[in-house]
Amino acid sequence: MTGSALMPLKETMHAISAGMLIPTIAILLLFVAFMAIELGSLLVEVVTERRKVKVNVPALLDAFQGKNSNEIMDEISNSHMFTRQKLALNEIIKHSHLPAVSHEALARQLLASEELHYARITNRTDLVARLGPMLGLMATLIPLGPGLIALGQGDTKTLADSLLTAFDATVTGLAAAAIAFAISRLRKRWYEDYLSSLEALMEGLLEVFAREKGIKE
């Protein structure tokens, strides 16, 4: 009685499980394609930005001292910083007339905006690094059920096909996750360096303008 009552539930679970195999494999293949794109993007980032961007924070902080807003903007423009970093620093300079508290609040908002920008980039690969093994495991376990049934019936061909699908799914999910993890780690290290440099330069600018306001007062 209990077995017959459970049969519809088992059949429902089996239907759901079997129906999820193709979407899961499709997502895994999309992850692999996305990782290929991200690898290309990483190489472009290395060639076009990472090699060219060299921020000498102490030299820039020294260059800011005793100069007016226009001269500081020229120093920033001629430096080898990212365009985003230059724009953020220029915003602080353009609003140097603000009171000290408001000026510091603006700097915090600009820095938080940069952190969010870089977080969005790394979140993409972080997601693949987390979901890749999970989906790989799902696509591994789903075909094992029919494979075990085939084993009991002596159907070695179906068993071999199920095991091949299971192993391929595992390798695909782990490969996508490994590449995503490596890209995320590398980019996070770069971006932390960029943000720390930007934060130091922002604080230097705030000190220069605070000192200038104190002299005027």
**pLDDT of residue 1 exceeding 60:** no
**Residue 5 confidence (pLDDT):** 65
Q: Are 78 and 184 in contact (CB under 8 A)?
A: no
Q: Are 54 and 46 in contact (CB under 8 A)?
A: no
Q: How far apart are CA 169 and CA 12, in angstroms?
A: 24
Q: Are 113 and 199 in contact (CB under 8 A)?
A: no
Q: How far apart are CA 96 and CA 121, in angstroms?
A: 31
Predicted TM-score of the model (pTM) = 0.81
Q: How far apart are CA 17 and CA 128, in angstroms?
A: 22
- Which amino acid is residue 106, in one-letter code? L
Residue 163: pLDDT band with limits 50, 70, 90: confident
**pLDDT of residue 217 exceeding 60:** no
Max mean pLDDT among 51-55, 65-69, 147-151, 182-186 falls in 182-186
Q: Which residue has the tokens 């049934």?
A: 149
- Which amino acid is residue 101, in one-letter code? V
Per-residue model confidence as pLDDT tens digits over 37-70: 999 999 888 887 776 667 788 888 888 888 888 8
**Residue 159 confidence (pLDDT):** 78
Q: How far apart are CA 204 and CA 114, in angstroms?
A: 18
148 contacts: CB under 8 Å, gap ≥ 6? 159
**Residue 49 confidence (pLDDT):** 73
Q: How far apart are CA 174 and CA 8, in angstroms?
A: 34
Q: How far apart are CA 217 and CA 211, in angstroms?
A: 10
- Residue 68 DSSP one-character state: -
Q: How far apart are CA 137 and CA 149, in angstroms?
A: 19
DSSP notation for 33-60: HHHHHHHHHHHHHIIIIITT-B--HHHH
Mean pLDDT of the chain: 85
Alpha-carbon torsion (21, 24, 30, 32), positive or negative: negative
